[in-house]
């Protein structure tokens, strides 16, 4: 089931994005405290790792390795386009 | 240290700009056709609306043999191209004694999923866009492959130099700022490149690998006395059988397919070649389908036609050969199930956008530096016009190709060829508009023509076939629904681009330029 890695990838990149001060300012109008930023980054990296590992588990080493790359690109693209839309509507 | 880095970055930026620009227009065509080729089978099915039913390779193969036995019993050879992973139709070819291979072009018949002959409009289907991706058109394929390989090599150079040039890969990872002129084009170029970077590297490198024995023939030349010896070793060809003159009915082809599938771990054959059918010395050769495993290179098995006995297995391939085969498979993605196929498609679309935005960026960057924006120098004019003709013109070419499939008379002579001409007529029209109109009007005209042509496709499909969007939706026919919806999405994308350009006042660029000039001063 590749849906779970896809979700993990989107959430992971969303957290990594929230861990960047430029996007914090775009989205909330201010920077978040350092503690929260660190937590978002750590959770983001964890979920992105889970997304790739989950692809390997779900589809096996050969197919999963290819799926994983597509899953990461998909997650990052969804987050980039969403953030662009949200920043514009503010 | 900083100075060295700055120097390296600058020379890499120069390399990236010019390596990308020189091959950009052809590269865009290669990327766009390659992207569409991930749905080659679906495009073929849409372009042959007369063919319905489901894919049954074994049944189709047996049906083909039944038809060939009845109608072409004396042929020297029969060939059966079985449906790809997501296709339905098979094609049979036959060759009489003394005819050369090109005769197969006329001696051909299309079969449906049950192996019954079916009359469908003559078309190359998705095969044209697929072949265009590496064989181009209107030129000898070997030249084309050299040209495409040259483009791919430049692409590899552009990717590596682009990564070195890009100052803020991580800081700009999610950044896309609209409405900021040159900055926006740079953002879009970076985003489409960075987010799918593993794909871009993989696809460019493996693309070169697919044709490596053409580009680098020296390994073969050093290890084998001649080309034939190499092919015999690489593909296990045996010498062709000699006619015995003694008739013998063919053993069950289904039985041979079952044996082959056991050897191949369940994979289906994709192509079947039968030499001397009906003769005691006849030989059946099964080629494994590329769609059932990641290593895509053909594997073949030979059988005695009369007895159905399998010849000894060919020697196992070495590691280098298996690696090459897997790289080719990774590139073509024939093995990919639907979810992965869409990911391939999206990454490949990002690559197409990367090339397109890179081309536009070249002009966006230099427009600000023109001494007189109303009278740009020849190089700038050339790039700007070619950009309009390819970035906006290629989508129009695709739409014209598909429209021709529905609108040309079904019984027209050379119909399949004219479908292909329609692609280049659409592309040529875009070039003509780009040459005679002022740039802004040319962009608008070609984008709107493309949007209109794509929007017209589902309508024309509805009017000329019984498999339009609404009936297909009712029937749950995913291929036809998906195709028509994709055409509408492309129409919407081109229409949005035209609308944005139209809304932008004609003087905006000059104002940007004035501000930039003021800031520099």
- Residues B119-134: pLDDT tens digits? 999 999 999 999 999 9
Whether the CA torsion B490, B492, B497, B501 is positive or negative: it is positive
Output the six-digit token pair for B407. Answer: 């609108």
Q: What is the pLDDT of residues A7-43, one digit of tens each?
A: 999 999 999 999 999 999 989 989 999 999 999 999 9
Instruction: Find the DSSP H helices in B74-181.
Output: 127-135, 141-165
H-assigned helices in chain A:
3-18, 21-28, 34-59, 61-89
Res. B117: pLDDT tops 80: yes
Q: What are the chain A neighbours of B343 within 8 Å (beta carbons)?
A: 67, 70-71, 73-74
Residues of B within 8 A of A66 (CB-CB) are: 330, 336, 340
**Tell me: the pLDDT tens digits for B414-463?**
999 999 999 999 999 999 999 999 999 999 999 999 999 999 999 999 99
Check pLDDT > 70 for residue B356: yes
Q: Quick check: B493 and B391 in contact, CB under 8 A? A: no
Contact B350, B199 (CB under 8 A): yes
CA dist B178 → B155, B220, B494 (Å) = 27, 52, 17
Confidence tier at B168 by pLDDT (50, 70, 90): confident
The alpha-carbon gap from A76 to the nearest alpha carbon of chain B, in Å, equals 6
Question: Are A17 and B174 within 8 A, CB to CB?
Answer: yes
In percent, how much of chain B has pLDDT > 70?
95
Q: Which residue of A has its CA nearest to B195?
A: A73
Model confidence at B233, pLDDT cuts 50, 70, 90, reads confident
Q: Which residues contact B157 (CB under 8 A, 6 or more apart)?
A: B15, B19
Which residues from A are below 8 Å from B178, CB to CB? 84, 88
Q: What is the pLDDT of residue B292?
A: 84
Question: Which residue in B has a C-alpha nearest to residue A67's C-alpha?
Answer: B340
Residues of B83-99 as b/e, b for ≥16 C-beta within 10 angstroms?
A: bbbbbbbbbbbbbeeee
B31 or B290, which is more confident: B31
Q: What pLDDT does B6 receive? A: 61
Asked if A23's CB is within 8 angstroms of B198's CB, the reply is no
- Which SS3 state, helix, strand or coil, does residue B271 take? strand
Average pLDDT, chain B: 92
Measured between CB atoms, which of B174, B198, B344 is closest to A83?
B174
Across the interface, whether the CB atoms of A76 and B195 are under 8 A apart is answered yes
Higher per-residue pLDDT: B170 or B190: B190
Distance from CA of B489 to the nearest CA of A (A): 17
Which range among B26-30, B216-220, B307-311, B442-446 shows the weakest confidence by mean pLDDT? Answer: B216-220
pLDDT confidence of B98, banded at 50, 70, 90?
Answer: confident
When pLDDT is cut at 50, 70 and 90, the band that residue B107 belongs to is confident
- Note the pLDDT tens digit of each residue in B468-491: 999 999 999 999 999 999 999 999
Q: How far is B354 from chain A (nearest CA, A)?
A: 13
Q: What is the pLDDT of residue B519?
A: 44
Question: What's residue B3's pLDDT?
Answer: 45
pLDDT bin (cut points 50, 70, 90) of residue B368 is: confident
CA R_g for chain B: 26
Size of interface A-B (CB pairs under 8 A): 65
B454 in Cβ contact with B490 (< 8 Å): yes
* Both structure tokens of B63: 């049906």
B131: left (phi over 0), alpha (psi -120 to 50) or beta: alpha
Contact, A15 vs A44, CB < 8 A? Answer: yes
Helix (H) or strand (E) holding B111: strand B108-111
B269-275/B283-288 β-pairing: antiparallel
Residue B264's H or E segment, with its range, is none
What are the counts of helices (DSSP H) followed by strands (DSSP E) for chain B? Answer: 20, 6
Task: Return the pLDDT at B374.
Answer: 84
Higher pLDDT among residues B474 and B520, named by residue:
B474
Measured between beta carbons, the chain A residues lying within 8 angstroms of B202 are 69
pLDDT value at B24 more than 60: yes
Range of lowest pLDDT (B65-79, B199-213, B495-509): B495-509
d(CA B289, CA A86): 46
If one compares B171 and B418, the residue with the highest pLDDT of the two is: B418
A35 vs chain B: nearest CA distance in angstroms? 19
Give the DSSP letter of residue B105: G
Q: How many residues does chain B have?
A: 521
Picking from A73, A79, A88, the nearest residue to B174 by CB comes out as: A79
ipTM field: 0.96
Chain A residues in contact with B168 by the CB 8 A cut-off are none
A-chain CB neighbours of B191 within 8 Å are: 77, 80
Could you write out the three-class secondary structure of B36-94?
HHCCHHHHHHHHCCCCCCCCCHHHHHHHHHHHHHHHCCCCCEEEEECCCCCCCCEEEEE
Dihedral angle over CA of B228, B230, B231, B232, nearest 10: 80
Average pLDDT estimate for B316-335: 91
Q: Work out the minimum CA distance from B208 to partner chain A, whole angstroms.
A: 19
When pLDDT is averaged across residues B241-266 and rounded to a whole number, the result is 94
**C-alpha–C-alpha distance, residues B30 and B52, integer Å:** 31
> A71 contacts in B (CB within 8 Å)?
343
Closest CA to B89 of B66, B134, B122, B136: B122
Q: What percent of chain A has pLDDT over 70?
A: 98
Which pLDDT belongs to residue B518? 47
- Residues from A contacting B (CB-CB < 8 Å) are 2, 13, 16-17, 20, 22-23, 62-63, 66-67, 69-74, 76-77, 79-81, 83-84, 88
β-sheet bridge partners, residue B286: B272, B301
3-state secondary structure at position B117: strand
| B515 — pLDDT class (breaks 50, 70, 90) | low
pLDDT tens by residue, B371-404: 988 889 999 999 999 999 999 999 999 999 999 9
CB atoms A80 and B173 under 8 Å: yes
Contact A70 B344 (CB under 8 A): yes
CA nearest to B261, candidates B58, B482, B41: B58
Question: Stretch A74-79: mean pLDDT, rounded?
Answer: 97
Distance CA B79, CA B72 (A): 12
B359 touches B28 (CB < 8 A)? yes
**Segments of B259-417 assigned E as strands:** 269-275, 283-288, 300-304
Q: Provide long-range contacts, Cβ within 8 A and 24+ apart, for A66-70.
A: A66/B330, A66/B336, A66/B340, A67/A2, A67/A5, A67/B339, A67/B340, A67/B343, A68/A5, A69/B198, A69/B199, A69/B202, A70/B199, A70/B340, A70/B343, A70/B344, A70/B346, A70/B347
Q: By three-state DSSP, how is residue B348 classified?
A: helix
Half-sphere exposure of A26 (CA within 13 A, CB side): 20
């Amino acid at each position: 089931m590749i849906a779970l890695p896809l979700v993990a990838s989107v959430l992971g990149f969303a957290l990594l994005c929230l861990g960047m001060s430029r996007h914090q300012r775009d989205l909330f109008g201010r920077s978040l405290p350092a503690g929260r930023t660190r937590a978002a980054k750590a959770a983001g990296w964890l979920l992105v790792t889970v997304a790739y590992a989950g692809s390997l588990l779900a589809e096996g080493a050969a197919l999963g390795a290819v799926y994983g790359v597509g899953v990461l690109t998909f997650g990052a693209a969804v987050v980039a386009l969403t953030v662009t839309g949200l920043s514009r509507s503010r | 240290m900083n100075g060295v880095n700055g120097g390296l970055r600058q020379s890499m930026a120069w390399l990236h700009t010019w390596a990308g620009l020189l091959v950009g227009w052809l590269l865009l065509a290669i990327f766009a056709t390659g992207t569409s080729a991930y749905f080659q089978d679906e495009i073929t099915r849409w372009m042959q609306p007369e063919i319905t039913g489901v894919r049954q390779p074994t049944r189709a193969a047996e049906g083909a043999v039944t038809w060939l036995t009845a109608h072409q019993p004396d042929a020297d050879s029969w060939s059966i191209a079985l449906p790809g992973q997501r296709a339905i139709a098979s094609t049979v070819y036959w060759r009489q004694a003394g005819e050369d291979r090109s005769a197969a072009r006329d001696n051909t018949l299309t079969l449906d999923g049950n192996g019954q002959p079916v009359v469908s409009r003559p078309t190359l289907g998705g095969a044209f866009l697929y072949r265009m991706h590496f064989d181009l058109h209107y030129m000898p394929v070997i030249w084309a492959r050299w040209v495409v390989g040259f483009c791919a090599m430049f692409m590899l150079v552009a990717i590596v130099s682009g990564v070195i040039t890009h100052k803020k890969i991580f800081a700009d990872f999610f950044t896309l700022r609209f409405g900021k002129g040159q900055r926006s084009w740079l953002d879009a170029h970076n985003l489409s490149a960075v987010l799918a970077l593993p794909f871009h590297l993989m696809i460019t490198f493996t693309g070169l690998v697919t044709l490596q024995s053409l580009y680098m023939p020296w390994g073969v030349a050093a290890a084998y006395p001649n080309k034939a010896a190499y092919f015999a070793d690489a593909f296990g060809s045996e010498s062709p059988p000699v006619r015995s003159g003694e008739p013998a009915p063919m053993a069950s082809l289904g039985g041979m397919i079952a044996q082959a599938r056991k050897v191949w771990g369940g994979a289906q054959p994709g192509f079947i070649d039968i030499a001397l059918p009906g003769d005691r010395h006849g030989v059946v050769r099964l080629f494994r389908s590329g769609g059932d495993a990641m290593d895509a290179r053909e594997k073949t098995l030979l059988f005695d036609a009369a007895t159905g006995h399998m010849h000894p297995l060919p020697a196992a391939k070495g590691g280098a050969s298996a690696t090459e085969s897997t790289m080719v498979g990774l590139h073509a993605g024939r093995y990919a199930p639907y979810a992965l196929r869409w990911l391939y498609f999206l990454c490949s679309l990002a690559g197409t956008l990367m090339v397109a935005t890179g081309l536009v960026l070249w002009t966006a960057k230099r427009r600000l530096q023109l001494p007189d924006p109303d009278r740009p120098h020849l190089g700038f004019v050339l790039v700007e016009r070619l950009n309009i003709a390819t970035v906006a013109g290629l989508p129009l070419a695709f739409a014209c190709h598909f429209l021709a499939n529905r609108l040309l008379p079904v019984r027209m002579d050379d119909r399949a060829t004219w479908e292909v001409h329609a692609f280049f007529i659409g592309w040529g029209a875009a070039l003509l508009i780009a040459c005679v109109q002022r740039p802004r009007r040319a962009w608008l005209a070609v984008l709107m023509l493309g949007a209109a042509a794509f929007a017209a496709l589902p309508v024309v499909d509805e009017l000329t076939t019984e498999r339009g969007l609404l009936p297909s939706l009712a029937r749950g026919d995913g291929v036809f629904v998906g195709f028509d919806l994709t055409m509408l999405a492309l129409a919407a994308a081109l229409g949005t681009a035209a609308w944005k350009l139209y809304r932008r006042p004609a003087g905006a660029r000059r104002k940007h330029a004035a501000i930039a000039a003021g800031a520099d001063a």
